[in-house]
Structure 1
Amino acid sequence: MLVQPCVEAFGLGAPPPDPVPGQCWIVGDSPAGAWAGSAGALASWTEGGWRFAAPREGMAVWIAGEELAARYVSGAWRAGQLSAAQLVIDGEQVVGAREGAIDEPDGGSVVDAEARAAIEAILQALRAHGLIDGG
């Protein structure tokens, strides 16, 4: 339940009718029945009944049915969100910190020159983000 937990579902308000020992859930915000008073906790069914574990900052679980990770951050579970400074694949950075906005072309009498400048700015931003090769 606490070491690499895998939950059946995220945010349920009431216990499932026929749990199997070892199955876990993340309890919803307004729990009822056997889960009353355990909002946000991990609930695991055991041979001895329900066991609850309060989440701790940074705790992560796998939501099996959705194939998503959930992490407990700032007092709440967040499913499917990923926080990172950069994304590295096969040793290569492919996404980094967000760059500033690209200004729209403005003025000028030759449209092709403006279009070329805009395309160059887009390519430069994509390279800065690591989304395309620096070529």
Structure 2
Amino acid sequence: MNDQTSVRLSLPLLQLGQAQKELSHNEALTLLDFAVQPVVEAVGVGSPPVSPDTGACWIVGPSPTGAWSGSPNAIAGWTNAGWRFLAARDGMNAWSRGDSAFARFDGSRWRIGEVTGACLLVAGRQVVGEQQSAISAATGGTTIDAEARATLAAVLAAMRSHGLIAS
């Protein structure tokens, strides 16, 4: 951290003897407005929209152009005074209206719609945990039951396609 900006979000700090402190304070509040519970129109956009609404935000793509040049992966928000940029930090999340999903910055890029965790709880009960080992498909045997085998095959295929068991 330097004495000019905050450690995590690089928000401008007030300085002793600074004239017009309200400018730094208002800039910090504007950036906080974009950072807290962020909602963006789209993720990975390369150039700014022509007529953005005040307060609308986008996640800038990795190779931005125009007014967004030099701000890859940042959250860009339109204000009455023009574009403001909030640099992405590892672990930062934003709701993407365009994707109807959360986007999470992993330190190098934004990942859309990916949810990570150790388990999934519904009403306090674990319904999905770590992926289990593969289950062999039914084969052979002295009695062949085609319907049972078809059902088991469908269950196994569904579980594999959901990633619940290995293939």
* Alignment TM-score, normalising by the size of structure 1: 0.79
Pairing 1:1-135 to 2, within 5 Å after superposition: 1-112=34-145, 119=152
Unaligned runs of 5+ in 1: none
Distance 1:85 1:65 in 2: 28
The question of whether the paired residues in 1 share the 8 Å contact of 2:77 and 2:84 is answered with yes
Identity of aligned residues (%): 49
Q: Which runs of 4+ in 1 moved over 3 A?
A: none
Question: Could you say which structure has the greater relative contact order, defined with CA pairs below 8 angstroms and 6 or more residues apart?
Answer: 1
Structure that is richer in strand per residue: 1
Deviations 1:17-73 (Å, cap 9, x if unpaired)? 011221110001221100011111110111111111111111000012321100011
Q: Secondary structure at the match of 1:40?
A: coil
Distance 2:137 2:122 in 1: 32
Structure that is richer in helix per residue: 2
Give the deviation of 1:4 after TM superposition: 0.6
Q: Pairwise CA RMSD of aligned residues?
A: 2.3
Give the deviation of 1:91 after TM superposition: 1.1
Give the deviation of 1:74 after TM superposition: 3.6
* Alignment TM-score, normalising by the size of structure 2: 0.65
Distance 2:89 2:63 in 1: 19
Residue 44 of structure 1 aligns to which amino acid in structure 2? G
Unaligned runs of 5+ in 2: 1-33
